[in-house]
Amino acid sequence: MSRKGFFTDSTVCIGCKACEVACKQWNQLPDDGFQFTGMSYDQTGDLGCSTWRHVAFVERPVPMPGHSTGVGDFSWLMVSDVCKHCQRAGCLEACPTGAIVRTEFDTVYVQPDVCNGCGYCVVGCPFGVIDRRPDDGRAWKCTLCYDRIGEGMTPACAKACPTESIVYGDLDVLHERADNRLRELHSQGIISAYLYGKDAKNQPGTGGLNAFFLLVDRPEAYNLPPDPVVPTMKAGQAWGAVAVGALGMAAMAVGAVLLGRRGDS
């Protein structure tokens, strides 16, 4: 099976939230309640256990070339965020039960019947994607529509996207498409456009993302970390400290016993 993924081009996103709705509908995700956040047109806030696609709305006092809004220096940035299906997935490497697996499509999948709700994947994800539902006790996230792509169908969000902002397909094809789009934008003068997380060279901390993005502002503006790292890359140092600490503990115990000896045995 070839490697599948998403290419999300933020420059053509119109913020219609069709992807959010399609995802909720196909996967029959539970309702989150009705809340007014007051944060632009974003009433969802972030990705979570029952939100697997999330459209971010960034309002910024900077014009985009070729856009006229009539309200002065202003531009919209919208992007549909999703689980990145990382090449080195923090959630997968953290899961102690083997509930999180890599599928034949190279995506990252949580098996709900195996997950025991320890919540370790939640803190293992450097993007804050996966979450445990408090009243369900298990961790949930985007499956990249594992049930659809197995039947040769397109994931619900990509199918519903009216502007082709979300494109699903073979990773090689997506990479080529993204490179072409980037060249096109640069030639139009949008020189701030760049690809986020395309491959290991582009984002060494995750080994590249199967769901990567074309953005035109700093990652932080979209709530994406600028230099994420799978925590296990640094775990060696912590285990090293444990080794040193073990020597110290043993030395303290042995030393105390030797000091307490009187030679009266």
Partner 1 sequence: MSARDGDDTFLDRLQRRSDGRNVNPALGTLLGEGAQQRVTDLDRANPAHGFQAQVPSHFVADTAEAPSYHGLAAIKQPVWIATVPAYLFVGGVAGAASLLGLAIDVLGEKSMEPLARRCRLLGTAGDMLSAGLLIADLGRPTRFLNMLRVFRPTSPMSVGSWVLALSGALNSVGLVLGRSRGVLGVTGKVAGYSAAMLGMPLAGYTAVLLNNTAIPLWQSTRRTLPLFFMASASASAGSLLSLAPHTEREAEVLRPYRLAGKAAEVVMAHAVELDARRAPEVARPLSEGLSGTLWKTSRACSLAGLVVDALPGRQRWKQVAADMLTTVGAVAARFAVFHGGQASARNPQATFRPQRQGHGAAEVTGHAVASDGKPWSFPLPVVR
Strand 211-215 with 139-140, pairing: unpaired
Q: Residue 173 binds what, of ligand SF4, partner 1, none (CB under 5 to 8 Å, by partner type)?
A: none
User: For partner 1, which residue of 70, 72, 96, 152 counts as binding (CB under 8 A)?
Assistant: 96
Of 120-179, binders to ligand SF4 (CB under 6 A) are: 120-121, 125, 127, 129-130, 132, 139, 141
- Decide: is 28 part of the binding site for partner 1 (CB under 8 A): yes
x/- track of binding to partner 1 for residues 112-141 (CB under 8 A): x-x-xxxxx-xxxxxxxxxxxxxxxxx-x-
Rg (CA), the chain: 23
Distance CA 232, CA 229 (A): 8
C-alpha distances (whole Å) from 168 to each of 76, 126, 184, 189, 220 are 24, 23, 20, 27, 25
Give φ, ψ of 57 to 5 degrees: -120, 110
Q: Is 79 in the site for ligand SF4 (CB under 6 A)?
A: no
From ligand SF4, partner 1, none, interface partner of 84 (C-beta below 5 to 8 A by class): ligand SF4
* C-alpha to C-alpha distance for 235 and 71, rounded to whole angstroms: 50
Compute the least distance from the CB of residue 165 to partner 1, in Å: 18
C-alpha span between 176 and 180 (Å, rounded)? 6
Site string for partner 1, 236-255 (x = CB under 8 A): -xxx-xx-xxx-xxx-xxxx
| Interface segment toward ligand SF4; rule CB under 6 A; list 2-10, 112-120, 158-166, 186-194 | 112-120
| Tokens describing residue 71 | 């309200």
CA distance 175 to 150: 22
| Binds partner 1 by CB under 8 A, chosen from 143, 165, 181, 214 | 143
The answer to whether 49 contacts ligand SF4 (rule: CB under 6 A) is no
β-pairing, 194-196 vs 166-170, is unpaired
Six-digit token string for 174: 């997506």
List residues near ligand SF4 by CB under 6 A: 83-86, 89-91, 94-95, 97, 99-100, 108, 110, 115-121, 125, 127, 129-130, 132, 139, 141
